[in-house]
Amino acid sequence: MRVLADTNIFIKFCRRLPLPGEVENTLADTNTERCLSPISVLELFRLWKFGKVPDNPDSWLHLALSSWTILPVTVSIARQSVLWPWEHKDPADRLITATAQAEQVELWHTDTVLERFTGFPQKYFKNIA
């Protein structure tokens, strides 16, 4: 099974923070290919810079990424991210959803805004604080 984790799920999984059981079990399964967009790394550092992630990602990210497949942001993904007929203006979310569409990998996310959109494979999980 291949899963594209959104930034929130990636951070929580890597930092061993609470996640829904299905997410935790699937991502921990050695048969799961855990996928990530490099845009999530951009978001991670942005969150850390503004104090929303406590530990400097430089201290743990390299080790965490060794067990993830990083999916490229291609020209067609960049194009699609702009052409979605949505009002959602977050370019990171648009790139991650376009990656899910292009790679035909289900995006697992906690974003209540993305949950309403179509055109890409997705599975929404309620965010656990």
Give pLDDT tens digits for 38-50. Answer: 999 999 999 999 9
Residue bearing tokens 């935790």: 24
What mean pLDDT do residues 17-40 have? 97
pLDDT at 86: 87
Q: Which domain holds residue 26?
A: 2-124
Q: Is residue 52 part of a domain?
A: yes
Q: What pLDDT was estimated at residue 87? A: 84
Give domain status of residue 28, yes or no. yes
**pLDDT at 66 > cutoff 80:** yes
CATH number of the domain bearing residue 6: 3.40.50.1010
Report pLDDT for 93.
95
3-state helix vs strand vs coil in the chain, percent to 5: 45, 15, 40
Residue 106, domain member (yes or no): yes
For the segment 72-99, the average pLDDT, to the nearest whole number, is 94
Q: Residue 129 falls within a domain, yes or no?
A: no
User: Terminal CA-to-CA distance of the chain, rounded, Å?
Assistant: 26
Give the pLDDT score at 57. 97
Q: Tokens standing for 75? A: 């020209």
Number of residues written out for the chain: 129
Give me the pLDDT at residue 129, please: 66
Assigned domain for 54 exists: yes
- DSSP letter, residue 74: -
In the chain, the number of structural domains is 1
pLDDT tens, position by position, 86-119:
888 899 999 999 999 999 999 999 999 999 999 9
